[in-house]
Structure 1
């Protein structure tokens, strides 16, 4: 697909109705087993901007030695992934444990004539970028060709990295977004302007609904956490994907 076509494509996207929230959305947080039913507050992950960064470091019990300062992260290697448009960035050093080395900013994934671009740059680890690109090629492109008659898409994503804790709470475990190992997807747009909304088209008995069902199923073969609208109220507007460790052996899969 030529750059001129994509320029028109992106111009069309800006005129489309908002898919469940702002185009450049903030990102959601996975819940560990068992998944809860939500907190009941108005924050919608993947749509609203989190209220704040994690507020403080974990509490230290009285008499215990304070935790050492987090060492500065260093870039260990360049990241090269065939068919993936990316820029290697400096290591991300956030507050209270947020951040990661091998940071990259991904803008598109190609496979032959097929191309998947993102609504905005996605900042993630090189390793997560490999998994993400593999899923886009193996799962999303074939499903898009089958149900939407196009292998090329614009994916409505959040920015990837965000320094925050799970469920946007002020304490608790860090989100995988804070470690560069997660991304959220709120929708897709094909070059002709046809839009697929996770919030509006999920479980619909249409080609758009079947497309979302197929890519959700394929995501469960690539990521350790896949949370869609059926998971809980926090994910009604998007699909959350991450490669976090679940269980002592890191072999537990959350697919909802």
Structure 2
């Protein structure tokens, strides 16, 4: 009763000792209803305090979704480009060195065209048979596949024919360097020569074990055992290579025999033998 009276007189009520204002006013209303006669106001039921922990939250709607931790973010690796491994060049009974792929001119040349090049170049020094060895006066640089054809031609045709025609074997071949970034017949325009692709070789002289030297330019077309040897190896070359050009082909080949493995015709089977 004193509490109601004090409140009615406007005195301040101290509610600092863990007493809710809502509870105090509820009590005041209860006592007021009890002391004031003639009023039929129902007494409100006491409601429980609001519990924050009783309501669920939907993550991402009521509460922002949690950000991923930095260590959980795994970057996608970029695809790596791999260079296919080069297949080793195998040429039986041949002394040679495999070189890195060639593009454009080697050293100084009249033409430096990126269309020139060899993907599998080799530098050949010599070709051997069971009894004989044929050396190149200067090591030649050609493709691995073309080198295989040259080696078989020397081993199976040239060496046996030399022994049969002259009684001695070829010991040294004098030739061009093989690979040259240039056009056909060294012209300033036109198609690239097969030399520019490592598929050609020019042979000018043959030196034999007994010291004899046969020159294509000097001995071609004469009725001698030396010219007979040149005729025989020229004919055999036409069975090994797609292009064989000797002194009778044109003035550009009067001093040497040109051999190459270029593609002629739609199916690359056409043979040029001159």
TM exceeding 0.5: yes
Aligned pairs for 1:115-134 within 5 A? 115-134=133-152
Superposed CA deviations along residues 108-137 of structure 1, whole A, max 9, x for unmatched, are 100101111111001000000000001111
In structure 1, C-alpha distance between the alignment counterparts of 2:170 and 2:207, rounded to whole Å: 9
1:105 pairs, out of 118, 123, 144, with 123
1:84 pairs, out of 84, 90, 94, with 94
Aligned residues: 184
The answer as to 2:247 corresponding to 1:229 is: yes
In structure 2, C-alpha distance between the alignment counterparts of 1:138 and 1:82, rounded to whole Å: 13
In structure 2, C-alpha distance between the alignment counterparts of 1:203 and 1:125, rounded to whole Å: 31
Superposed CA deviations along residues 73-130 of structure 1, whole A, max 9, x for unmatched, are 9872221211001000111111230001110000110010111111100100000000
Superposed CA deviations along residues 173-223 of structure 1, whole A, max 9, x for unmatched, are 110000000000001011222110000100111110000000000000000
| Equivalence for 2:184 | 166
Kept in 1: contact 2:169–2:209 (CA 8 A): no
Structure 1 residues 167 and 125: CA distance shift in structure 2, 3 A:
same
Which portions of structure 1, spanning 4 or more consecutive aligned residues, are displaced by more than 4 angstroms?
Answer: none
Kept in 1: contact 2:203–2:258 (CA 8 A): yes
- SS of equivalent residue, structure 2 residue 168: coil
| Equivalence for 2:29 | none
Gap regions ≥5 residues in structure 1: 1-72
Aligned pairs for 1:217-256 within 5 A? 217-256=235-274
RMSD of equivalent CA atoms? 1.4
TM-score (structure 1 length as normaliser) = 0.70
Gap regions ≥5 residues in structure 2: 1-82, 105-112
Structure number with bigger Rg: 2
Compute the displacement of 1:167 (Å).
Answer: 1.7
In structure 2, C-alpha distance between the alignment counterparts of 1:204 and 1:161, rounded to whole Å: 31
Kept in 2: contact 1:90–1:103 (CA 8 A): yes
Kept in 2: contact 1:75–1:101 (CA 8 A): no
Higher relative contact order (CA 8 A, sep 6+): 1
TM-score (structure 2 length as normaliser) = 0.65
